[in-house]
A and B are shown apart, each in its own frame.
Chain A
Amino acid sequence: MDAISRRAFAEQLALAAAAPWFLDESAVRRPPAPQQSEPSPLAKALAEAVRVRYPDRFSADDLTAITRSIDGRLRAIERLYQTALTNADEPDFVYSVYRGAD
Chain B
Amino acid sequence: MEFAFLPVVELGRLLRQKKTSATELATYFLDRLERIGPRFNAVATVTRERALAEATQADREIGQGKWRGPLHGIPYGVKDLLATKDYPTTWGAEPYRQRKFDADATVIERLGAGGAVLVAKLAMVELAGGMGYTQANASFTGPGKTPWNPAYWSGGSSSGPGAAVAAGLVPFAIGSETSGSILTPAAYCGVTGLRPTYGLVSRHGAMALAWTMDKLGPLGRSAEDCGIVLEVIAGKDPKDASSVNRGFRMTTQSGSKFRIGVPKGADKDIQPEVAANFRAALKVLEDRVELVEDVELPDLPYGAVAGLIIAAEGASAFDDLLKDGRLSQLTAPEDRTGGYPALAVSAPDYLRALRVRRPMQRALDDFLKKFDALAVPTRTTVATPLDKPFRDGWPGVTGGANVIGPTNVVGVPGVSVPNGFGVQGLPTGLSFTARAFDEGKLVSLARLYQSRTDWHTRRPPLD
Q: Which A residues lie at the B interface, using CB under 8 A?
A: 3-4, 7-8, 11-12, 14-15, 18-30, 32, 43, 46-47, 49-50, 53-54, 57-58, 62, 65-66, 69-70, 73, 76-77, 79-83, 85, 89-93
Contact = CB atoms under 8 A, between A and B. Distances in A.
A29 B214 CA distance: 23
A79 B358 contact: no
A65 B180 contact: no
Contacts of B305: 80
A-B interface, 7 closest residue pairs, ranked by CB to CB distance from nearest: A19-B307, A91-B354, A22-B179, A24-B405, A69-B341, A20-B132, A46-B344
A3 B269 contact: yes
A28 B270 CA distance: 12
Given A22-B129, A24-B180, A80-B308, A11 B303 contact: yes
Kindly name the residue among B157, B303, B352 whose own CB sees the greatest number of chain A CB atoms within 10 A: B303
Contacts of A91: 351, 354-355, 358
Contacts of A80: 301, 304-305, 308, 349, 352-353, 356
Most buried by B among A24, A53, A57, A81: A24
Contacts of B302: 11
B215 to A, nearest CB: 13
17 contacts: A3-B398, A3-B399, A24-B405, A25-B379, A25-B380, A26-B303, A27-B391, A28-B379, A32-B391, A50-B343, A50-B344, A73-B341, A77-B349, A80-B301, A85-B352, A89-B358, A90-B355
A85 B300 CA distance: 13
Interface in B380-424: 380-381, 384, 390-391, 393-394, 397-400, 402, 404-405, 408
Contacts of B408: 22, 24
A77 to B, nearest CB: 5
